[in-house]
């Protein structure tokens, strides 16, 4: 209490103070959530099968709870037709609307057009790694004959 008369102070062990402040800092770091931004690059004249593959990657990223930065790269005369890239990004946003929301709308940045998708808040991130194996059909009936 710096305004009190006479001033009040507290005697304490400095080592204990440093330890407790380090514990508080470690606890606050543990509760932070690290945001990961994945990037998926496309071209304006993408084939339908290639588009489905790229869309599947975006879906996987959103299911894992990551943000996705979708970049459309324009080359040469494609730069004079930015509406192709805009339409492609709108189509992708509509295809993944159940998993994510558009965080930043498509905008031209030099030769690239960029859009950021974020996962919905209510979707729990799926654990990483392979899916659990399905044991259907591998049941041992005990009727093996030797």
- Helix spans in the chain (H): 14-31, 48-63, 82-95
Residue pair 55/89 in contact by the 8 Å Cβ criterion = no
Alpha-carbon distance of 144 to 57, in angstroms, equals 43
Residue pair 46/85 in contact by the 8 Å Cβ criterion = no
Pairing mode, strands 37-42 and 67-73 = parallel
Q: Which of the two residues, 110 and 140, has the higher pLDDT score?
A: 110
pLDDT of amino acid 36: 81
pLDDT of amino acid 35: 77
Tokens read off for 146:
């030797």
Q: Which of the two residues, 35 and 18, has the higher pLDDT score?
A: 18
Mean pLDDT of 129-146: 52
Residue 132 has pLDDT above 60, yes or no: no
Domains of the chain in sequence order: 37-119 (3.30.110.10)
- Report yes or no on whether pTM surpasses 0.75: no
Q: Which of the two residues, 35 and 23, has the higher pLDDT score?
A: 23
Which value, in Å, is the radius of gyration of the alpha carbons in the chain? Answer: 27
Residue 122 has pLDDT above 60, yes or no: yes
């Amino acid at each position: 209490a710096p305004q009190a008369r006479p001033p009040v102070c507290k005697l304490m062990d400095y080592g204990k103070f440093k330890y407790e402040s380090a514990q508080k800092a470690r606890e606050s770091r543990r509760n932070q959530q690290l945001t990961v931004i994945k990037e998926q690059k496309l071209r304006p004249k993408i084939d339908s099968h290639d588009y489905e593959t790229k869309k599947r990657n975006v879906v996987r990223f959103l299911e894992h709870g990551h943000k996705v930065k979708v970049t459309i790269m324009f080359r040469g005369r494609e730069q004079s037709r930015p509406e192709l890239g805009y339409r492609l990004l709108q189509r992708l946003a509509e295809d993944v609307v159940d998993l994510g929301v558009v965080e930043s709308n498509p905008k031209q940045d030099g030769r690239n057009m960029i859009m950021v998708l974020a996962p919905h808040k209510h979707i729990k991130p799926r654990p990483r790694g392979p899916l659990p194996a399905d044991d259907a059909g591998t049941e041992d009936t005990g009727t093996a004959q030797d």
